[in-house]
Amino acid sequence: MTAGNYYEGQIKRRATDRLADLTQSQVEAARQCAADGSTETVDVADLAAGDRLLIREGERIPVDGTVADGEGTVDEAVVTGESLPVGKTPGEQVVGGALLQEGSLVVRVDEGATSSVERITDVVWNLQSATHGIQQLADRLATIFVPLVLVLALVVGVVQFALGAGIGATLLVALTVLIVSCPCALGLATPLAIASSVREALERGIVVFDETIFERLRDVDVVAFDKTGTLTTGEMRVIDRQGPDALFERAALLERR
């Protein structure tokens, strides 16, 4: 039982290690704009709705917000999976954790002053210690099964002793019943399977928000996929060409400039 719990813990730790990309996308400090136009570096935890933040090229957006001033190109792949950068202008929404590739933005903090990346990370962290669905059922069955096994072992031991068996033989029979009837598989098989599934999903770039999804998959008939990067890598390459070689040579020269 102890070995099983240890193995389950190892699986969960490896699963949470896969959140490194999301965790690294979180920003701890932000450049807050004052009324006189100056800026001050503050902790993201101290931000409030309505605060204005200056985001420069190459920086990550600390929290979800709305572009108040400036224009830029934002890479939101860490949240949306979209490989192509998205242009942002005043009035448009930006997500915390996204990378500003070009331009400069002044972002007004939305209500809650949190980032989408932070919320995703928190959900997956909490998922590692939560019990849902069939795992709760397995835990309830285990709590019922353990007392029954103890009572059964005691009854068998008493019967053996009453039939004239010695203390050593009686204890051996009782221990045999306990070992054979131990509900370790019932208590560990389900959480181990779910923890392994969550880890495998994260390794494949899938963030699991609800572990009961593995139980419901057997009832799924249709799956709808969205966003570039879900079924494709979002990276394009030339696999064939048509036309004279001289034309492609000139195009290659222009590409190098």
Give 60-119 pLDDT, tens digit per residue. 888 888 999 999 999 887 777 677 788 999 999 888 888 899 999 999 988 876 666 666
Q: Which sequence spans correspond to the domains of the chain? A: 2-12+125-215, 27-114
Per-residue pLDDT at 3 exceeds 90: no
Mean pLDDT for all residues in the chain = 77
- Provide the 3-class DSSP secondary structure of residue 240: coil
DSSP 78-119: HHH---S-EEE-TT-EE-TT-EEEEEEEEEEEPTT---HHHH
Average pLDDT over residues 180-199: 70
Active site residue 21: no
Closest CA to 18 of 121, 96, 102, 109: 121
Active-site residue identified among 36, 219, 221, 226: 226
Task: Quote the pLDDT of residue 117.
Answer: 65
Tokens 């939560």 locate to 130
Instruction: Please report the pLDDT score of residue 22 as a whole number.
Output: 55
Percent of the chain whose predicted confidence (pLDDT) is above 90: 12
- pLDDT digit string, tens, across residues 8-19: 566 556 655 555
The span from the CA of 70 to the CA of 90, in Å, is 7
CATH 3.90.79.10 holds for 27-114? no
